[in-house]
Amino acid sequence: MTLATRLETMATGPAAHQPAALDAIREIEEELGFDLPADYTAFLQRSNGFDIDVDPVVESRFRLHQIETIIDKSHGYGFDVRDQQIVVIGDDGGEHAYAIDFRFDPVQFVRVSYYDHDRRSFEYLGDSLEVFVRNVLEDTKLKKPKGLAKRKKKTELPNKVDRKRKPEDPGLALILKDHHSEVAEPAIFVKELGQFVFRGQNGSHVLDPDDGNPHPLPGEARRSYPPFAYNPPRNSLIGKVYEPEQHKWFVGEFDIESGERIGTFPDEPHVHSQLMQISPDGGSLVAAGRDFYLGLHDTEGAFGGLALFDTATRELRRRFFSWQDGTPGLTINADGLLVHVSTRREGDRAPFRSYREILFRSLETGDVVRKIELKESFPRYYWLRTTSSGRLLAVNGDHIVCEIHDDGGVTQPIGPRRLAETNSLALVGDDRLLIGTGAGSLHLLDLATGEQLWSARHRRGCCGCLCVSADNRWVLTGGLDAGPTRLWRLPD
């Protein structure tokens, strides 16, 4: 097929992705602060993304990205699209990106080097999509037209991302701009207080979702880091704290009203990094971390362990091996049992490189009450969640939501298969499942049917680490280095 033929069939030929919805395009335009070219918009509605070989010898490619990814792609090349008005829409699979320069009217399609962002080094490839594609395929270098393109006055872009929705409507209600998520578990919801507790760039805060204004925790509690746990008998917050003089992390307990530290848990280095769960009565704390445990060592990575504490005395009751190299979700089920994964079965002399069992442990003694031996092991299981009826849900190593059965079998996916970028789960009541994706979207599913009931999207960063309020009206989202913490209003 000639290059000319490929160009002629671009809009009607086979495409890598399904056509983009006009609403999705308009949402991106709203976030950008300016409209995309009409011919580019029309193309996206026929083919949301495009990928062909240009030169099979050097494996050079011509790719146009999906509309949902262009902001992240632009950031990957170092462009802040809202300020610099350079939007990356494709690449050659190598060191060059194809972009639209919105500083000019009409806009200019250009080629940008990954290593050189000097505007004088941009290669002009046309001011229409058709001319741009033809020149890329034929490797034509054009001179910028003189007198045709006028520099536009810099657009004053609004601070708010979502200007149309009202906070009471389902969808994005509030972006906490100065509170970027820093860790894997950014928040807990304390139903006794009716508030979220989360870590931002300026310390740990509480947030009443109906008020919408985060307030810093008082005293030393503000220095605490997730993972958090709330201890009802003491009205205290448990979290990590760093002691610079000792160059160590500790798990501390803080009075939530005064912020004063009222105690410190024993120095167990392997428990101070990833997850914590507290029993419903507040009597037991399970801390999980990623570090060497009891001398178990592997050159490819560290092993994880769990430690069970008595919260009344802060004494260590028991510690036990949990998983290898990573942090899957551990959870507490309706029977008050700790549920977690293990990389080895009883009798195994060493951990395996995949998950072997799901274990159910007593929160009083740490003893295994029952277990599920997995028939097929995935590299990982994350974000374990259990319903009151006993259903066990998780995200597997392929980032797909699945259900783990008592016989060790696994059913997947739960919900639409296209939600393959799933990175977090949360139950909304006992009949709905909330899924957060790396693409910045939320999806609410009916657990009985798998039907999608609602979805919303914010394309900067991921929607990870979901934390749902006790009344199931709000969810706080964040993600590891993924941008600001966000508060969403869930549908009734």
DSSP string computed for 241-306: EEETTTTEEEEEEEETTT--EEEE----GGGSSSEEEE-TTS-EEEEEEES-BTTB-BTTB-EEEE
Better-predicted residue by pLDDT, 456 or 11: 456
Amino acid in the structure at residue 19: P
Please, what is the average pLDDT of the chain?
Answer: 75
Better-predicted residue by pLDDT, 346 or 207: 207
The answer to whether residues 410 and 396 touch, using CB atoms and an 8 Å cutoff, is yes
- For residue 451, count other CB atoms closer than 10 A to its CB: 11
Quote the pLDDT of residue 260: 95
Residue 201 has pLDDT above 80, yes or no: no
CA atoms within 13 A on the CB side of 126: 17
CA distance 28 to 33: 9
Highest mean pLDDT among 41-50, 109-118, 215-224, 389-398: 215-224
Tokens representing 420 are 């393959």
Quote the pLDDT of residue 302: 43
CA distances from 337 to 94, 279, 312, 322, 483 (A): 51, 9, 19, 15, 34
CA atoms within 13 A on the CB side of 94: 13
Question: What order of strands is seen across the sheet that includes strand 303-310?
Answer: 275-278, 284-290, 303-310, 315-324
Residue 81: pLDDT band (50, 70, 90) is confident
- For residue 334, count other CB atoms closer than 10 A to its CB: 12
Least confident of 220-224, 335-339, 376-380, 385-389: 376-380
The model scores a pTM over 0.85? no
CA distance 66 to 431: 33
Per-residue model confidence as pLDDT tens digits over 161-176: 343 444 445 666 566 6
Quote the pLDDT of residue 120: 67
Quote the pLDDT of residue 129: 87
Highest mean pLDDT among 147-156, 283-292, 387-396: 387-396
Residue 75 has pLDDT above 90, yes or no: no
- For residue 466, count other CB atoms closer than 10 A to its CB: 24
CA distance 322 to 252: 23
pLDDT above 70 as % of the chain:
68
Quote the pLDDT of residue 401: 85
Q: Which domains are present in the chain? A: 3-151 (3.40.1580.10), 171-489 (2.130.10.10)
**3 state SS of 222:** helix
Quote the pLDDT of residue 313: 93
Check whether the bond before 227 is cis (ω within 30° of 0).
yes
Tokens representing 37 are 């070219």
Residue 89 has pLDDT above 60, yes or no: yes
Residue 39: pLDDT band (50, 70, 90) is confident
Least confident of 38-52, 157-171, 198-212, 413-427: 157-171
Residue 82: pLDDT band (50, 70, 90) is confident
CA distance 303 to 45: 48
DSSP state of 349: S
Quote the pLDDT of residue 154: 42
Helix (H) / strand (E) element for 74: namely helix 70-76
Residue 281 has pLDDT above 60, yes or no: yes
Quote the pLDDT of residue 434: 92
Quote the pLDDT of residue 202: 73
Beta partners for residue 172, in sequence order: 488
CA atoms within 13 A on the CB side of 71: 22
Quote the pLDDT of residue 60: 59
Per-residue model confidence as pLDDT tens digits over 409-457: 888 777 665 555 677 889 999 899 998 876 677 889 999 888 889 888 7
Quote the pLDDT of residue 197: 93
Residue 353 has pLDDT above 70, yes or no: no
Quote the pLDDT of residue 142: 52
Cα angle 412, 414, 420 (rounded to 5 degrees) comes to 80
Q: What is the mean pLDDT of residues 42-62?
A: 69
Per-residue model confidence as pLDDT tens digits over 229-270: 999 999 999 998 877 777 777 889 999 999 999 999 886 554
Better-predicted residue by pLDDT, 51 or 311: 311
Residue 57: pLDDT band (50, 70, 90) is very low
Highest mean pLDDT among 102-106, 118-122, 275-279, 426-430: 426-430
Q: What is the mean pLDDT of residues 218-232?
A: 90
